[in-house]
C-alpha cells in the first residue's frame, strides 16, 4: 500500500499499521515530496491528547519542546488566566516530523523522500500513482498529503458533498531577549489566546506560544481565521507583533482544511489528517492527524482481512466514533464563537469557571474527557459551578 505524505498523519498511519502487525512493514511505501527535516508552517502546539497518542504509537515525544502550564485568554471586555499543568507541549514541526519519520523507517517501512506525486488515476483493482521518479499501482492509497491534498482533488472530491472549509493561518517567530521581544509568556510557561478581534469581524483568534528555535527562546505569534470575512490577517499579525515588541518579522501563511460534510474516503482511498479535515475552532490538527492514522490503520487491517478495498463504511465509522463527534462539536463551537452571537458566547465562556475547567479538559482530551458526550460535559460544568465535584 502507498501513503502519500509523511507529516503526522502519514507517519501515524504507518506506525499504527506496523504496531498492529510488524510483518506488514515491507508492504508499505511512503512517498514524500520534501526531505526531512522540512519546514512546516505550524505553531507546533501538542495538546495532551496528542502526547498520549504519540505514546500509544510507541514513539513518545523525543524532540525539544516547551511545556505550557498557564493560559491567558482575552475576549472582548474580559481577561481570563488559568493555571494548571501540561496544557500543551510546543515543538518545532521540522523536528517533530523528522523524528516521526525516523521512527517509521526504524520499523522497516520505506520512506521515499524528494518524490512528489504528480498524477493519480483509477485503474482496475486500484490506483495508479505517477511521481517525479516512478509509477506505482496499489489497491490501497492513503492520502496524507495535507490541506492542498492532490489525492483529495483527484480521487475523492465530488460536487455532491462540497469541498469543505479551508481556513488560513499566518504566523511569525520572534526572538526573545535584549533588543528583541520582551513577552513574559516564555518565562511563565504560558500561552496566550486573543479573541478580541471577533468584534472587528475576525472569525478566529490570535495566539502567542513560547517555543525554542535552535535552543534559543522565541515567541511564535499568529492569527487564525476559520472563515474569510475580509479582515486583513497580516495587519492583525503586525498589531500583535507590535504588542509583543522587538523588530517586525516576515510572516508565513498556510491553509488548514476543516472537518465538515466533505467526503474523506472513496474506493481504494482513505484521506487522513489535513487532507481529510481537522478541527475548525482553533485549527488544532496534530492530535487529529494522529487519530486519523489510528483509524486508517484499523480500516486497512480489516480491508486486508476481507480483501475488500471499497472502504464503504469506513467514513461512517469515523464520523460515528468519538473523534468524529468531537470534530462535530468543535464545528458547532466555531459557529457559536465566530458567528453573530460571538460576543455573548465568549463573554459566557470567560465568566463561567465550571465551563472553563470542563471545556479545557474536554478540548485537551485529558484522561479520556473528550470521549464524554456534550450533555455529560454540560452537566459536569453545572455541578462543578455549584461546588458539587464529588457528584461526578
Ligand X SMILES: Cc1cc2nc3c(=O)[nH]c(=O)nc-3n(C[C@H](O)[C@H](O)[C@H](O)COP(=O)(O)OP(=O)(O)OC[C@H]3O[C@@H](n4cnc5c(N)ncnc54)[C@H](O)[C@@H]3O)c2cc1C
Residue 287 and residue 67: Cα distance in Å, rounded?
16
Residue nearest to ligand X (CB): 285
DSSP 181: B
Closest approach, Cβ 117 to ligand X, in A, equals 4
Which of 31, 140, 156, 269 forms a contact with ligand X (CB under 6 A)?
31
Which of 10, 48, 204, 277 forms a contact with ligand X (CB under 6 A)?
10
DSSP 4: E
Contacts (CB under 6 A) with ligand X, residues 200-239: 222
Which of 98, 103, 150, 263 forms a contact with ligand X (CB under 6 A)?
150
Closest approach, Cβ 246 to ligand X, in A, equals 19
Give the CA count within 13 Å in the CB-facing half-sphere of 375.
0
Which of 1, 2, 6, 212 forms a contact with ligand X (CB under 6 A)?
6
Q: Does 291 bind ligand X (CB under 6 A)?
A: no
The torsion angles phi and psi of 216, rounded to 5 degrees, stand at -95, 135
22, 107 in Cβ contact below 8 A? yes
Closest approach, Cβ 272 to ligand X, in A, equals 6
Q: Does 34 bind ligand X (CB under 6 A)?
A: yes
Q: Does 169 bind ligand X (CB under 6 A)?
A: yes
Residue 15 and residue 103: Cα distance in Å, rounded?
8
Q: Does 96 bind ligand X (CB under 6 A)?
A: no
Residues 257-277 as b/e (b if ≥16 CB within 10 A, e otherwise) read: bbbbebbbbbebbbbbbbbbb
Closest approach, Cβ 182 to ligand X, in A, equals 23
Q: Does 284 bind ligand X (CB under 6 A)?
A: yes
Closest CA to 174 of 131, 221, 207, 139: 221
Give Cβ neighbours of residue 11 (< 8 Å, ≥ 6 apart). 30, 97, 100, 101, 103, 104, 293
Residue 230 and residue 216: Cα distance in Å, rounded?
36
Closest approach, Cβ 50 to ligand X, in A, equals 7
Which of 21, 27, 37, 41 forms a contact with ligand X (CB under 6 A)?
41
Residues that bind ligand X (CB under 6 A): 4-10, 31-34, 40-45, 116-117, 144-146, 150, 169, 171, 222, 254, 256, 273-275, 278, 283-287, 289
Amino acid at each position: 500500500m502507498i501513503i502519500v505524505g509523511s507529516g503526522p498523519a502519514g507517519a501515524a498511519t504507518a506506525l499504527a499499521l506496523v504496531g498492529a502487525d510488524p510483518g506488514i512493514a515491507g508492504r508499505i511505501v511512503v512517498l514524500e515530496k520534501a526531505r526531512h527535516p522540512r519546514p512546516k508552517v505550524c505553531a507546533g502546539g501538542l495538546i495532551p491528547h496528542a502526547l498520549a497518542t504519540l505514546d500509544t504509537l510507541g514513539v513518545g515525544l523525543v524532540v525539544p519542546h516547551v511545556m505550557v502550564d498557564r493560559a491567558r485568554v482575552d475576549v472582548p471586555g474580559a481577561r481570563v488566566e488559568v493555571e494548571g499543568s501540561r496544557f500543551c507541549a510546543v515543538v518545532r514541526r521540522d523536528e517533530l516530523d523528522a523524528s516521526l519519520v525516523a521512527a517509521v523507517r526504524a520499523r522497516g517501512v520505506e520512506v521515499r523522500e524528494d518524490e512528489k506525486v504528480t498524477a493519480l488515476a483509477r485503474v482496475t483493482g486500484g490506483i495508479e500513482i505517477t511521481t517525479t521518479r516512478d509509477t506505482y499501482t496499489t489497491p490501497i492509497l492513503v492520502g496524507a498529503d495535507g490541506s492542498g491534498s492532490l489525492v483529495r482533488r483527484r480521487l475523492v472530491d465530488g460536487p455532491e458533498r462540497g469541498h469543505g472549509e479551508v481556513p488560513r493561518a499566518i504566523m511569525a517567530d520572534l526572538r526573545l531577549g535584549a533588543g528583541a521581544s520582551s513577552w513574559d509568556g516564555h518565562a511563565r510557561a504560558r500561552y496566550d489566546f486573543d479573541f478580541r478581534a471577533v468584534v472587528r469581524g475576525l472569525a478566529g483568534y490570535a495566539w502567542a506560544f513560547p517555543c525554542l528555535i535552535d535552543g534559543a527562546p522565541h515567541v511564535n505569534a499568529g492569527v487564525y481565521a476559520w472563515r474569510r470575512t475580509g479582515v486583513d490577517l497580516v495587519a492583525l499579525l503586525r498589531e500583535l507583533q507590535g504588542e509583543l515588541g522587538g523588530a517586525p518579522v516576515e510572516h508565513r501563511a498556510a491553509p488548514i482544511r476543516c472537518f465538515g460534510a466533505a467526503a474523506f474516503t472513496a474506493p481504494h482511498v482513505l484521506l487522513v489528517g489535513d487532507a481529510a479535515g481537522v478541527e475548525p475552532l482553533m485549527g488544532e490538527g496534530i492530535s487529529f492527524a494522529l487519530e486519523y492514522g489510528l483509524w486508517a490503520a484499523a480500516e486497512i487491517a480489516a480491508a486486508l482481512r476481507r480483501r475488500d478495498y471499497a472502504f464503504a463504511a469506513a467514513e461512517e465509522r469515523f464520523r460515528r466514533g468519538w473523534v468524529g463527534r468531537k470534530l462535530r462539536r468543535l464545528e458547532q463551537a466555531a459557529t457559536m464563537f465566530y458567528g453573530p452571537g460571538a460576543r455573548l458566547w465568549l463573554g459566557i465562556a470567560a465568566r463561567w469557571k465550571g465551563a472553563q475547567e470542563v471545556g479545557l479538559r474536554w478540548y485537551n482530551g485529558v484522561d479520556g474527557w473528550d470521549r464524554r458526550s456534550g450533555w455529560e460535559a454540560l452537566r459536569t460544568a453545572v455541578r462543578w459551578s455549584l461546588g458539587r465535584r464529588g457528584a461526578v
